[in-house]
Amino acid sequence: MNSNYSRRSFLNKGAAGALGLTLFTNFANDLFAAVQKQNLFSAPSDLKITDVKCAYIRSGHSLFVKVYTNQDIVGHGEAVDATPGTYYLVRMMGDRIKDENPLNIHRIFEDVRRRGFFEGAQSGMYIAVLTAIETALWDLAGKALNLPVYQLLGGKHRDKIRVYMDTALYQSQLPGPEDFANSAKEAVDMGMTAVKFDLDQYNDPKKYDHYNWTASPGEMQRMYDQMAAAREAVGTEIDICADMHGRYDLTTGKRVAKMLEPLNLMWLEEPIPAENSDAYYHLSQSTSTPICAGENIYLAHGFRPLLEKGSVDIIMPDLQKAGGLGEAQRIANLANLYYVPFAPHMVASYLGAMASSHVCASVPNFMILEWQIYFHKNPMFKEIVHYEGEMVVDGFIPLSEKPGIGVEINEEGLAKYADKEVPFFA
């Protein structure tokens, strides 16, 4: 919508004479600048959703959505992991929210979730897709109201978001202790104050077999040697943590947690699958190593048993699939009642990272957010989004002050990497 304001008409219509031309001109210039900063779209109550479109990369494991409106304001959102094959689910949800006012975020979320009660709206793909759409609604609302998302969430506790580097020493590479040490030093040289490593190695020749969840003595020794090398490389003032991706049994989880106690980990992440809160309680009670879990848990409902039973020391919901930014804040606030830190999992693009950062800024019990080495090594992640400034500075994401999320999809860049068998924003 075009503004009817211009500097010439503003000054001509002013009554400057009696007050002095210079004084009024300065006043008029300041007021004109303030007017120009305001949102000049039509009333927010007139906003309507007209369409929802999507695109995919990484073999469908990264979903990007755009929510369109009758005022040409567009919202951007992202979901990960539980998204392959969900194109028609996006279209179905888009049809269900068409003509709704996108500022009614909580109501739209609840309407779509309740309507999907018999369609899988408790977890998985349904919630992951809803997460992307809900995130786009927050982005859209921020743009319509000229506010950053954290302000819509109630304000911020911090201006920058601390991150830890996931070093991505993948299992197929069979990294040794020296690789762990080098990666830890590389992350610290990049300004990071916290580093994470994967301890589950599918191709470890010392495994009993690929179906046995019990770690062999050789695997145990390999895990300790790797983490000890990382600790020695960076010293005692850098946080290090380890991820086991839920691939072991309770006995192994207890033994590994106990074995790593001298290394003072920030946490041990999901040595066993996270669906059994009773097993996690026994694991947490057996060690002084902090236990972290939750990247595959959906909605606040899913985190309630872990928190009520004292099963984990730290929760790590993935904010690109757990239910959206509003639900993420509810999860964090629930954890805060139990004095449990909130450290979100994050394997998305910079759009997802900044969306997560708005939530992390808005809650008191934020601990740290995941950051991926691919942001620095894979040019795709700079090409698929529009953003300003540096992505990360000295181990912190600078929180965007722009309206909405502050990061947008770059369709031209994304098209280069888009999954060709799925319609691209169509």
3-state secondary structure of 377: helix
Distance CA 28, CA 224 (A): 68
Residue 77 main-chain phi, psi, to 5 deg: -145, 165
pLDDT at 45: 80
Distance CA 315, CA 368 (A): 11
pLDDT at 6: 39
Q: Do domains 45-147 and 151-402 have the same CATH topology?
A: no
Q: Residue 146 has which token pair?
A: 């000229």
In this structure, which amino acid lies at residue 386?
Answer: H
Q: Where are the domains of the chain?
A: 45-147, 151-402
Beta bridge partners of residue 209, listed in sequence order:
none
In this structure, which amino acid lies at residue 177?
Answer: P
What residue has token string 């740290």? 368
Beta bridge partners of residue 178, listed in sequence order:
none
pLDDT at 31: 35
pLDDT in tens, the chain (426 residues): 333 333 333 334 343 333 333 433 443 444 344 334 444 456 888 999 999 999 999 999 999 999 999 999 999 999 999 999 999 999 999 999 999 999 999 999 999 999 999 999 999 999 999 999 999 999 999 999 999 999 999 999 999 999 999 998 876 688 999 999 999 999 999 999 999 999 999 889 999 998 999 999 999 999 999 999 999 999 999 999 999 999 999 999 999 999 999 999 999 999 999 999 999 999 999 999 999 999 999 999 999 999 999 999 999 999 999 999 999 999 999 999 999 999 999 999 999 999 999 999 999 999 999 999 999 999 999 999 999 999 999 999 999 999 999 999 999 999 999 999 999 999
Q: Residue 345 has which token pair?
A: 């999992």
Enclosing H/E stretch for 57: strand 49-57
Architecture in CATH for domain 151-402: Alpha-Beta Barrel (3.20)
pLDDT at 7: 34
Helix axes 124-145, 87-97, angle to 10 degrees: 50
Q: Residue 127 has which token pair?
A: 């919630």
Q: Tell me which residue of 298, 355, 290 sits closest to 321, measured CA to CA.
A: 298
Would strands 385-386 and 408-409 be described as parallel, antiparallel, or unpaired?
antiparallel
Q: Tell me which residue of 241, 321, 298, 276 sits closest to 78, measured CA to CA.
A: 321
Distance CA 334, CA 315 (A): 11
DSSP 401: -
Label residue 396 left, alpha or beta by phi (over 0 means left) and psi (-120 to 50 means alpha). Answer: beta
pLDDT at 273: 96
Residues 257-267 as b/e (b if ≥16 CB within 10 A, e otherwise) read: bebbeebebbb
Residue 21 main-chain phi, psi, to 5 deg: -60, -40
Domain 45-147 fold is Enolase-like; domain 1 (3.30.390)
Q: How far is CA 115 from CA 85, 97, 130, in A?
A: 20, 11, 12
Label residue 269 left, alpha or beta by phi (over 0 means left) and psi (-120 to 50 means alpha). Answer: beta
Q: Specify the pTM.
A: 0.89
* 150 neighbors 362 (Cβ within 8 angstroms): yes
